[in-house]
Structures are given as C-alpha cells and as structure tokens.
Structure 1
Amino acid sequence: MSGREGGKKKPLKAPKKEGKEMDEEDLAFKAKQKEAQKAMDQAKQKAAQKGPLVSGGIKKSGKK
C-alpha cells in the first residue's frame, strides 16, 4: 500500500442536469420575484438616503 492511495476517494462527477422547461406558471412566478426584488432594492436605496435612524452613539452613565 503506497502513501498516495490513503484517504478518501473523490466522488465521481455527477452528470449535468438538463435544462428544465418552464411553463407559464414558472415564468409568472419568476417575473413576480423580479418585481419584488426591484421593490426591495428601491426601498433600500430610499432608506440609505435618509441616514441612520439613531445617532446617539455610545451612552455614558455619567458616573465618575
């Protein structure tokens, strides 16, 4: 037994999956997801323009 044979064997590569045909329901679902993603991105941009909601920073107790 040589040193090169030890250890785990690599699994064989799985064959590539064939392209799945999409019907009208799948296409509608994908379009709905894209619209939701666009709305989320716009909301993120709008929120980023306003700045931080809380600007208090680290609160100190006041005791010395």
Structure 2
Amino acid sequence: MTGREGGKKKPLKAPKKDAKDMDDEEIAFKQKQKEQQKALDAAKANASKKGPLVGGGIKKSGKK
C-alpha cells in the first residue's frame, strides 16, 4: 500500500445519455412551461417597479 493508493478514488465516467425523440405532448408541455416562465418573469419585472408592499410596521428604538 503506497501513498498514491490512499484518498478518494476518481468516479467512473457515466455513459452518455441518448437524445430521445420527443412526441407532440412533450413538445407542447415544454412550450407551455416556457410561456409560464416568461409570464412569471414579466410579473416579477412589473412588481419590482412599484414601491414596497409593507410600510415597515412597528419600529423599535433599541432602548430597553
């Protein structure tokens, strides 16, 4: 047992995954997800333009 044998061993390479063919349902589902993500991003952009929703509530002075 030499010094080179100790420690972590390199993991074996995983076999490459085959590019599977997508049917019409999968393509439609992915397209729907992209549209939903775009709508969500647009909603986030519009929400960031407005001011804060909360006024801050009760402020504490720090003195006890």
| TM-score of the superposed pair, with normalisation by structure 2 | 0.81
Gaps of 5+ in 1: none
Distance 1:28 1:8 in 2: 44
TM-score normalised by the chain length of structure 1:
0.81
**Residue 4 of structure 1 aligns to which amino acid in structure 2?**
R
**2:60 aligns to what?**
60
Tell me by how many angstroms 1:57 deviates: 6.8
Secondary structure of 1:13's counterpart equals coil
The answer on 1:24 being equivalent to 2:24 is yes
The offset of 1:7, in angstroms, is 2.1
Please, which runs of 5 or more residues in structure 2 have no aligned partner?
none
Aligned-partner Cα distance in 2 for 1:43–1:34: 14
Count of matched residue pairs: 63
- Does residue 13 of the first structure (1) align with residue 13 of the second (2)? yes
- Name the structure 2 match of 1:34: 34
Identity of aligned residues (%): 75
Indicate the RMSD between aligned Cα atoms, in angstroms.
2.1
For the residue of structure 1 that corresponds to 2:56, the secondary structure is: coil
